[in-house]
Chains A and B, each alone.
Chain A
Amino acid sequence: MPDSPSVATVKISVFRRLTNSCATLFAIAAAVLVILPLMAIFLYLLIKGVQSLNWAFLTQLPKPPGEVGGGMANAIVGSGIILAMASLVGIPVGIGCGIYLAEYGRNAFGDVVRFTSDVLNGVPSIVIGIAVYSLIVVRQKHFSAFAGSAALAIMMVPTVARATEEMLLMVPNNIREAALGLGIPKWRTTLSISLRTASRAWQEKRPRCCSPPWVISTGAGVLISRRQHCRCKSIPTPCRPTMTGTNKLGPGR
């Protein structure tokens, strides 16, 4: 646009032109600076990680300190168990909440739910960890995978809910109307038509700014299931369950 002839013929003062180039340079520099750490982290993990990644690492239990070899099978299994248990509760509740927001929640109460789940999304995982700790760990008197997955389930609900809502909102209304017009009850329409269409649309064209529900923060899980002797130890360091098959943002969240 600025290069178009009509603009070029207007005399622009040196100062204005300089500011313009500076701003452009700054924006480009910012983009490079932001992407740089990403590349650095990937390269670092690749270079340092690949050499110690072998079959034994994935399938063996850790050896006592000082001995060579061993793996982190317990941590992988622990993560799997915690993630599975959390998904069992967190995903259905989250999807239900998302359905409410998209299909019934076009009103003031829906806005309140939306607001609360957004705010809940921002609550640090460590705080959720403390709450679950005092409810489950204190009563059971020991750390457990169950406590870890309870915390994870709580963290999943708002994320899954907002993602589901977003997915459902991408489904055109005529599809719903067509289904209802065929005499299909609303619940069936929502579950078998809207949700299914949404999940397909989701796979094809995922909105860029939201995370898959599987990207979960580590804080709470580490806090609650941190114990050397615990059979199911969540992975305190590198690999926390990030579903790379579908990978994308989180936020991330």
Chain B
Amino acid sequence: MIPDSEKPTNPPASAEQTPKPVSAIPTLAQAATERKAVTRSAALERIRKTHPRSSGIQDTAFRVLILFTAISVFAIVAFIVDQLISKSHPTLHAFGIRFFYNDEWDPVNGDFGARPFIFGTLVSSFLALLLAVPLSIGVAVYVTEMCPTRLRPVVSFLVELLAAIPSVIYGLWAVFVLAPLLRDYIQPALAKTLDWTGLFTGPPLGIGMLAAGIILAIMVVPIISSITREVLTAVPQNQREAVLALGATRWEMIRMGVLRNARIGIVGGIILGLGRALGETMAVTMVIGNSNYISKSLFAPGNTMASVIANEFSEATGDLHLAALVEIGLALFLVTLIVNALARLLVWSITGPTGRVRA
């Protein structure tokens, strides 16, 4: 912006210059003196002509607009928290902290406790991580360290394609393919071999906690493995070369040179996967069996926080029932918020905030 006081008094020099013959290429020295000859105000005038006066205002307006869209992210979080707290007010008042350790979920008598759902969420997510973590790290190691270069993009693309499948489709597949498979082959085998643990008792139904854990594991693998892969690629090549130069085998190189350096980022990826597993709704709802009781056996049906909301929300019988469901939603929100925040901080400590790592 040019202040008005600097309005030039002489007409712009450039306008009066006659075009020079093409042959007369100015030397560097000539060009320098010519540049000096153009007065400051004339230069400003030239800028002013090509650069309309309003562009400063436009830029400021654009900046403010963009800032507003950025702030909308905070507004969304505030809006969610506000709505959840105000709608769960009845149960927050009626049950207080007891809501979280009460076993009863009895909409008819108006007695609500979230413990079966918290238990279901924790067990299914833990089971999912137990299955998914070794697999995802294995895939990430395979892609970054062992895979032939040409196969590398193919494998990572296929793994990430898993994340593109909508969760209802996982649910559908789990109900029609995975559950019968579990019921007919895997559960009887588990019951025979691992009966003594007490985790695999009861009738093999197919659907239940085990099916939910497996389907969650499949859904979580692409997240953990893509972040692990990013983190592994971030490990400097010298580390690998140094360990190899000491005579390590490939596995020793991966263990000492790569995995050890990347462990914080891997943990971050695992927690991010946990965040997804905790909140996953549709697929879990379709296979977990929807029973509001706590059972030690993994064959038994259960319910998670997300699935009970999905199942009962649109048929909630009264204000208290609705408020109880919203309070479960509030708890779920806070838990995933904390889990995600933790994971982001861990991942960022390796890649930096603008790193390509995304979930």
Contact = CB atoms under 8 A, between A and B. Distances in A.
Asked whether A and B interact, the reply is: yes
Contacts, number: 307
Contacts of B310: 126, 219, 222-223
Contact of B306 (A12, A37, A119, A219): A219
The 4 lowest CB-CB distance pairs between A and B, nearest first, are A124-B279, A30-B138, A96-B69, A187-B62
A48 B272 CA distance: 34
A16 interface: yes
A192 interface: no
Contacts of B254: 23
DSSP majority for the B interface? Answer: helix
Given A45-B173, A210-B358, A218-B281, 5 more contacts: A20-B249, A122-B336, A135-B79, A169-B354, A217-B281
Contacts of A45: 169, 173
B63 A122 contact: no
B153 to A, nearest CB: 7
21 contacts: A2-B250, A19-B252, A23-B254, A24-B146, A29-B138, A38-B162, A41-B170, A45-B169, A100-B67, A116-B73, A116-B74, A118-B340, A122-B275, A126-B279, A127-B84, A127-B332, A128-B80, A157-B76, A208-B160, A219-B282, A249-B160
A101 B139 contact: no
Nearest to A109: B70
B249 A16 contact: yes
Contacts of A115: 341, 344, 353
Contacts of A165: 354
Contact of B313 (A99, A113, A130, A217): A130
A88 interface: no
Contacts of A253: 163, 223, 359
Contacts of A238: 168-169, 172
Interface of A: 1-2, 7, 10, 12, 16-17, 19-20, 22-24, 26-31, 33-35, 37-38, 40-41, 44-45, 48, 92-97, 99-101, 103-105, 110-111, 113-135, 154, 157-158, 161-162, 165-166, 169, 183, 185-188, 190, 207-211, 215, 217-219, 222-223, 226-227, 236-238, 240, 242, 247-253
Interface in B290-338: 306, 309-310, 313-314, 325-326, 329, 332-333, 336-337
B90 to A, nearest CB: 12
Contact of B69 (A48, A93, A116): A93
B138 A209 contact: no
A37 B162 contact: yes
